Amino acid sequence: MTAGKIFVVGFGPGDEAHMTHRAKEAIVDSDSVIGYKTYMDLVSHLIQGKELVRTGMTEEVSRAQEAVKQAENGKKVSVISSGDAGLYGMAGLVYEVLIEKGWKEDEGISVEIIPGVSAINSCASLLGAPVMHDACTISLSDHLTPWELIMTRVEAAAKADFIIALYNPKSGKRTRQIEETQRILLEHRDPKTPVGLVKSAFRERQHIVMTDLEHMLEYEIGMLTTVIIGNNSTFYYDGKMITPRGYQRKYTLGEEKQPLKPAQRLKREAEPWAMHGGKDEKVDSSVNPKPSPMNSVELAEEALFAVTGEAPEKPANESPIFKQTAVFEFAVSPGVWNKKVNAKQLAFLAEVIGEKGEVSYTTSHYLQVSLETDEPQTITRKLEQDGWLISPVGDVIHVKACDFCDGEKKDGIPYAEELQDKLGGLKVPKVMNIGFNGCGMACYGAVTDDIGIIYRRGAFDLFLGAKTTGRNAHTGQPVAEGLSPDKLVETMVNVIEEYREKGLPNERFHKFFKRIQNIQGFQYQEMPEPVKVDNPCE
Ligand code: SAH
C-alpha cells in the first residue's frame, strides 16, 4: 500500500481564476475531496469522479478526522478551505488531529498545506488598495473564542491604527458583535474612516459597498461579508478605497488635508517620527556608535533607583494613542510689491513657526513655511492680522512684483495688486510665476518668468512662456507692446483660464504655449536653435 497524503488546500475566494495552480493540481491529483458543502459546489468541475465527503459547516473536526483516516488507508485526500486554509481554515485542525495520534512527519502520512488568496486580499483588491500598510484580521465569531478577548483585540487594533479586516462579521444569530465592534472603533477612529464591505468576492453574488465607520451598519453585512476598516490615512478616490504607503499628510491652503505625493514621502523630513527624527544623517566615521542617549528624566530616574532601590512610579494607563501629524505648507511675504518686514513682524513669524517649523527662502519672492499643525486656519489668521500676505504653495500662481523703486514709481502698483487678488494662489497645471515690473528697466527680470508684465509709459508690455532651464532656455516671448491698462487684468485672466482649461497635468506654461501655438490671439514664435560653434582651439 502506498503512503497516503493530505493536501490542505486553500482555494481562494471562489472562482477558478483566483485559485493557485498548485491548489488545482492537488485537487485533481486526489482520490477524495473533503469539504463544506458550499465549497464543494464552488470547485465542482474539478472533483468529478472523486470520492466526496461533504459535511456541514460546524463539522470541521470530523472533516479533519476523516481526512486523516483516509490518508492512513493510503489515499490522497484534499481537505478544502475557502481563501487560505491557514487562516480560520482547516490547516491547524488537521495538524491537531494528527498530533493527538502522535504523528511525526518522518514516519507518518505526508501533509502539504497549499496557500490560497485569503478574503483580506481578494476583498481588498476589489475595493482598490486599502491594505497597503500594517493590517490585521479579526474574526468576530465568538464560537471558539471568548468575546472579551475579541473586544480586547478590536480595541488594540483600533488604538494602534491597524487596517482591520473583520472576518465572520455577522450571521443570523450573531448580530450584536458587529455593533459592539463599531462602537469600540468609533472611540479611537474618525467616524469618516473609510469602510469597505465586500460580500462574496469573486463569486456569483459579489456585492461591494464603500461607506464609512459611522454609516457601515446601514448596509447589509452577512456571513459572506468581509469588512475592511481603513486606517487614519485611508481615503476614497474615484470610487476606490486607498491607503497611502506612509503617514505624513500635508495641508496647503485651499485644499483639504492630503497624503503626501509618493516622491515627497521618500524624503527624510516626511518621517519626523522615525528613529532618525526626520533629520539628515551626518555620518562621522571617527566616532563609535553610542547607545541612544537617555533624556534627563530617565537619567534622574536611574540615579534615584541606584540610591533608593525604588523604581519610580509610572503613571498608570498611559497607553500612547496614535496621533497623526500633518504638515502645513504655505507661502508668506510682506506683500506683492512691499519688500520690507519690520522686526515685530519677524519676531511674530518666528513665534508662530516655532522651534520645529522650517522656513525656506525661495526664488519667487516669498518665504515658504512648513510646520506641524492641525489648525492651519488659526495660523494664517494670526499672520494676516500681523500684516503678512499668505498664499498657497504647490501648483499655483505666484505674482512676483518689483518694489516699484520703493513705491516711488507707483503707477503700476494697483494693477499688480489686482492681479494678485484675482490670480494669486489659483490652481494651475504646473506652478507658475507672473513677474510684474513697474518700469521699462525691468530690473527684477520679469521676462524670465512664465508671464512677464512690464509697465512702460502708461501701458503694458507682455512676455509669455519663458523657459529658464535646459539647453534651449529662453526668455518670455514679447507678444504685446502697449497693452492698455484697462485691458491688462482681463487679458491675463483669460490667458490663465485657457491654461487652466486646456493645460495637461504638470504641463509648464511654456510647453503649453508651444503646444497650442496661440493663446487668446497671442502667437507662439518658433525659437531659434542654438548655433553650434567650432572651438577655435581644437
Ligand atoms: N479561510 C478563509 C476565511 C474563512 S472564515 C479565508 O482565508 O478567506 C469565513 C469568513 O471569511 C467569512 O465570514 C467572510 O468574512 C470571509 N470570506 C471568505 N470568503 C469570502 C469571499 N469570497 N468574499 C468575502 N468574504 C469572504
Residue tagged 503678512 (cell numbers): 388
Residue 13 alpha carbon, nearest atom of ligand 1: 22
pLDDT in tens, 103-125: 998 888 999 999 999 999 999 99
Q: Which residues line ligand 1 (CB under 6 A)?
A: 13-14, 81-84, 87-89, 118-119, 123, 167-168, 198-203, 223-226
Q: Mean pLDDT score of the chain, rounded to an integer?
A: 89
pLDDT in tens, 139-190: 999 888 999 999 999 999 999 999 999 999 999 888 999 999 999 999 999 9
Predicted pLDDT at 26: 96
Predicted pLDDT at 285: 47
Whole-number Å distance between alpha carbons of 101 and 103: 5
Could you give the percent of the chain with pLDDT greater than 90?
A: 68
- Beta carbons of 14 and 202 less than 8 angstroms apart: yes
**DSSP state at residue 272:** T
- Beta carbons of 78 and 113 less than 8 angstroms apart: no
Report the separation in Å between the CA atom of 226 and the middle of ligand 1, taken as the mean of its atom positions: 6
Report the separation in Å between the CA atom of 38 and the middle of ligand 1, taken as the mean of its atom positions: 12
Residue 198 alpha carbon, nearest atom of ligand 1: 24
pLDDT in tens, 350-407: 998 888 899 999 999 999 999 988 788 888 889 999 999 999 998 999 999 999 999 8
- Beta carbons of 86 and 11 less than 8 angstroms apart: no
Report the separation in Å between the CA atom of 225 and the middle of ligand 1, taken as the mean of its atom positions: 7
Q: Which one-letter amino acid corresponds to residue 338?
A: N
Report the separation in Å between the CA atom of 121 and the middle of ligand 1, taken as the mean of its atom positions: 10
pLDDT in tens, 31-47: 999 998 888 888 888 88
Q: Which residues pair with 330 in a beta bridge?
A: 369
pLDDT in tens, 480-502: 999 999 999 999 999 999 999 99
pLDDT band at 57 (very low <50, low <70, confident <90, very high): low
The whole-number average pLDDT for the span 435-454 is 96
Nearest residue CA, atom 5 of ligand 1? 88
Q: How far apart are the first and last CA of the chain?
A: 89
Report the separation in Å between the CA atom of 19 and the middle of ligand 1, taken as the mean of its atom positions: 14
Residue 460 zone, left/alpha/beta (φ > 0; ψ -120 to 50; rest): beta
| Integer angstrom CA distances of residue 48 from 33, 51, 451 | 10, 9, 74
Answer whether residue 293 shows pLDDT above 70.
no
What burial class does residue 323 get, using C-beta atoms within 10 Å of its C-beta: 0-12 exposed, 13-18 middle, 19+ buried? exposed
Report the separation in Å between the CA atom of 220 and the middle of ligand 1, taken as the mean of its atom positions: 16
Helix (H, G, I), strand (E, B) or coil at 507: coil
Residue 198: half-sphere exposure toward Cβ, Cα within 13 Å: 25
Residue 116 alpha carbon, nearest atom of ligand 1: 7
pLDDT band at 249 (very low <50, low <70, confident <90, very high): confident
Report the separation in Å between the CA atom of 408 and the middle of ligand 1, taken as the mean of its atom positions: 75
Whole-number Å distance between alpha carbons of 507 and 492: 18
Residue from 11, 114, 166, 224 to probe ligand 1 pocket by mutation (most atoms less than 8 Å from CB): 224
The whole-number average pLDDT for the span 48-76 is 87
Whole-number Å distance between alpha carbons of 72 and 182: 46
Report the separation in Å between the CA atom of 82 and the middle of ligand 1, taken as the mean of its atom positions: 7
Report the separation in Å between the CA atom of 39 and the middle of ligand 1, taken as the mean of its atom positions: 11
Predicted pLDDT at 290: 45
Grid cell at residue 215: 454609516
Could you give the percent of the chain with pLDDT greater than 70?
A: 89
Instruction: Please report the sign of the dihedral spanned by the C-alpha atoms of residue 261, residue 263, residue 268, residue 274.
Output: positive
Residue 226 alpha carbon, nearest atom of ligand 1: 15
pLDDT band at 289 (very low <50, low <70, confident <90, very high): very low
Residue from 82, 164, 170, 204 to probe ligand 1 pocket by mutation (most atoms less than 8 Å from CB): 82
pLDDT band at 321 (very low <50, low <70, confident <90, very high): low
The whole-number average pLDDT for the span 235-257 is 82
Report the separation in Å between the CA atom of 83 and the middle of ligand 1, taken as the mean of its atom positions: 6
Nearest residue CA, atom 17 of ligand 1? 119
Nearest residue CA, atom 9 of ligand 1? 168
Residue from 93, 167, 197, 202 to probe ligand 1 pocket by mutation (most atoms less than 8 Å from CB): 167
Predicted pLDDT at 299: 63
Residue 120 alpha carbon, nearest atom of ligand 1: 8
Grid cell at residue 121: 486580499
Whole-number Å distance between alpha carbons of 103 and 116: 25
| Integer angstrom CA distances of residue 230 from 139, 152, 178 | 16, 19, 16
Residue from 8, 88, 195 to probe ligand 1 pocket by mutation (most atoms less than 8 Å from CB): 88
Contact residues for 518 (Cβ-Cβ < 8 A; gap 6+): 524
Report the separation in Å between the CA atom of 446 and the middle of ligand 1, taken as the mean of its atom positions: 63
pLDDT in tens, 334-363: 999 999 999 999 999 999 888 889 999 999
**DSSP state at residue 523:** E
